[in-house]
Structures are given as structure tokens and as C-alpha cells.
């Protein structure tokens, strides 16, 4: 079976599907390799391919498709607003073993949305309509879309659903925050439920999935076909298997401090390039430690965000994780002031 056939078969199965959210400069081939060793999701998304007039699919992102070590389907994600370029890149990517082509309508980074790409396109429903029509004509494998619920306000979501319903997309993933909301509290799961009720295609829920019990409740509450998990999977790579156990009615296995420490060592071994200067290596690891720390303690998070050397990084990790106590790794409540990052982060 081809990757796209496997993906469609998964969509027709009964069990809730679990996917790893695309996170730029995080969900690389190397991270996919690590996360797969902990059970991993049913479906992977690539980082987004940047599409413009003369762009070609980036080789390092292609590697996550052509060298896919997981045995699971990988969906290629596009970001951009140039219709001919989007069509050209979609056709090019279909020469590779992709499970689907996905359009990013959710990236909230200002450098992206100010160029009217990613979440910035949500301000232009007519443009989205034209892009979806052109891509649906050009894509012969499954075609999926990842969106937020609006740019400024959730009130924009009704109009967006009307646009999505006009096109034969195979899956809609809804991150239930607005673009301007970024990752702040106030996830509108009720609007995900609305999308699941009103659209003919399957819907995935995305946004603040952090535990097995919460994941099960979210599927029941919204009626979605599956879940997309991003930061929660960085913090807790065991989460996918924990959710599967929850749905089967089995005991949830919690990692110990030593298990988390071993996970961090594995990230280091896969993410760090030999010969790169120490400060760059530490900064690379902070991309991951920032989220892992939210599942440890406020003091750990404060200290790990301020380490500057490899020795300090491992000293902090050993101090807080050298134990055999079980850890839920659920995000802790942290005062806003404690979340402020130093200039070196």
C-alpha cells in the first residue's frame, strides 16, 4: 500500500487517530526518529515547505519524507499565498511518498502572517477559496488543511467553515485559538465540535492536549476523528501511548525522573551536530527544554532557561530528574513573571 492509501485507511478506522503537530525547526527527521521510539503518533506532519515564486521543496524537510524512520504516514505541509507556486510545489511533492498535501492556515508567527501566509490568510477568505480550489485540482493524493479559528476573533470561524465546506478536502485540523491569541489560554473546543458537526470531512482537534484523560474527554466532547498534539508531545513523548491505553481502559504508565533524563539524553544525541559551537548546541536544546520544563517544576524551568553551557544544562537536569519517582509531565501553572525569558534564550 502507498502512504496515501494507508492514511485513507486510517481515516476509515474506528480508533481515534493521533498525529504529531508540525512545529517549525522542531518536527525534523531527527525528532521524528526520537518520538517514534516512545510509541509515536499514527500520522506525522512535516515542517512547512516555504512556497514563493521560485521556491523548491527544502531538502532537509524532504528528508523527513524520503528517510522516514517511523513506518507511519507523513503529510507534507505547504505555506504561502502564491497560487501558481503552491500548485507547482504540490505537484513536485507528490513525486515523493507523501500521505497527503496539507495547506497551513494557522501559523501565528508575525514574520509569517504579515506576509499574508499561514494564519495571515484567514483575513482573506476569498483568497483561501481560490487557493483551495487550485490545490484540490492539482492534488491527486489526499488534500488536508490546518487552520486556526480566525485571525482576530472566533466570530470569523463561521465564514471560514463555509469556505472549507465548498471544497472536497479530506481532513481539516482545527487549532482552536485565533492567530492573535498565539498560544495563550482560552481554547475554543466548542468551535472544533461545530466543525466536526457541520463538515463532511473528518476533523482533528489541536490545541493544549496535555493528558490521556483530557484527550479522551476532548474526543467525546467534540466528536472529532482524531487529535493533533504538539508541545504536549515534546514535553511528554509517552503521551501517545498513554492516550491509547486510556481509550483501551488500561493502566496509564508514567515515566520516572530517570526516564525523562534518558529522553533528554536521546534528544541531545539526535539533535546536536558535532563541531557546532557549544552556545549553539545549548540554544538548540533549549527549544525542547522550554517545553519539557513545564512538566517538571517552576524552579527547574527557571534554571534550565538560563543555562549557558553544556555542563550547566546537565547539572540542572541531574539535580531535578535523577530519581525514580513517577511523573505525570502535565503542564504546571506558572506565574506570568516566571515565564519571561532572559535575553540569551
Point out the residues that are catalytic: 107
Q: Quote the DSSP letter at residue 170.
A: S
Instruction: List, in order, residues 6 or more apart from 143 with CB less than 8 Å away.
Output: 100, 101, 102, 103, 135, 136, 168, 169, 170
Q: How many Å apart are CA 296 and CA 90, to the nearest integer?
A: 41
Of 301, 267, 262, 300, residue with least CA distance to 284 = 267
Beta bridge pairs of residue 227: 18, 205
Per-residue DSSP letters for 80-120?
-S-HHHHHHHHHHHTTS--SEEEEEE----HHHHTTT-GGG
Cβ(269)–Cβ(36) below 8 Å? no
The C-alpha cell 499561514 sits at 118
Spatial distance between the Cα atoms of 32 and 204, rounded to a whole number of angstroms: 20
Amino acid at each position: 500500500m502507498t502512504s496515501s492509501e494507508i492514511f485513507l485507511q486510517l481515516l476509515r478506522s474506528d480508533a481515534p487517530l493521533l498525529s504529531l503537530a508540525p512545529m517549525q525547526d522542531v518536527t525534523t527527521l531527527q525528532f521524528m526518529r526520537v518520538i517514534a521510539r516512545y510509541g509515536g503518533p499514527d500520522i506525522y506532519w512535516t515542517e512547512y515547505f516555504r512556497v514563493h515564486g521560485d521556491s523548491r521543496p527544502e531538502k532537509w524537510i524532504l528528508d523527513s519524507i524520503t528517510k522516514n524512520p517511523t513506518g507511519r504516514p507523513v503529510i507534507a505541509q505547504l505555506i504561502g499565498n502564491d497560487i501558481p507556486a503552491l500548485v507547482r510545489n504540490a505537484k513536485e511533492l507528490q513525486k515523493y511518498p507523501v500521505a497527503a498535501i496539507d495547506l497551513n492556515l494557522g501559523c501565528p508567527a508575525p514574520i509569517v502572517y504579515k506576509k499574508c501566509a499561514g494564519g495571515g490568510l484567514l483575513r482573506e477568505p476569498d483568497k483561501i477559496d481560490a487557493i483551495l480550489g487550485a490545490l484540490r485540482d492539482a492534488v491527486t493524493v489526499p488534500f488536508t488543511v490546518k487552520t486556526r479559528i480566525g485571525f482576530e476573533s472566533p466570530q470569523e470561524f463561521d465564514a471560514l467553515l463555509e469556505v472549507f465546506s465548498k471544497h472536497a478536502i479530506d481532513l481539516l485540523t482545527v487549532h482552536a485559538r485565533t492567530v492573535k491569541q498565539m498560544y495563550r489560554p482560552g481554547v475554543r473546543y466548542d468551535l472544533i465540535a461545530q466543525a466536526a458537526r457541520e463538515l463532511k470531512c473528518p476533523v482533528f482537534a489541536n490545541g493544549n492536549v496535555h493528558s490521556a484523560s483530557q484527550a479522551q474527554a476532548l474526543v467525546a466532547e467534540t466528536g472529532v476523528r482524531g487529535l493533533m498534539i504538539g508541545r504536549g508531545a515534546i514535553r511528554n513523548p509517552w503521551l501517545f501511548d498513554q492516550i491509547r491505553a486510556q481509550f483501551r481502559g488500561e493502566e496509564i504508565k508514567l515515566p520516572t525522573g530517570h526516564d525523562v533524563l534518558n529522553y533528554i539524553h536521546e534528544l541531545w544525541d539526535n539533535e546536536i551536530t558535532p563541531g557546532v559551537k557549544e552556545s549553539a548546541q545549548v540554544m538548540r536544546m533549549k527549544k525542547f527544554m522550554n517545553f519539557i520544563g513545564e512538566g517538571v517544576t517552576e524552579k527547574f524551568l527557571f534554571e534550565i532557561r538560563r543555562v549557558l553551557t553544556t555542563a550547566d544544562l546537565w547539572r540542572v537536569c541531574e539535580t531535578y530528574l535523577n530519581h525514580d519517582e513517577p511523573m505525570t509531565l502535565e503542564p504546571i501553572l506558572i506565574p506570568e513573571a516566571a515565564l519571561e525569558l532572559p535575553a540569551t534564550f
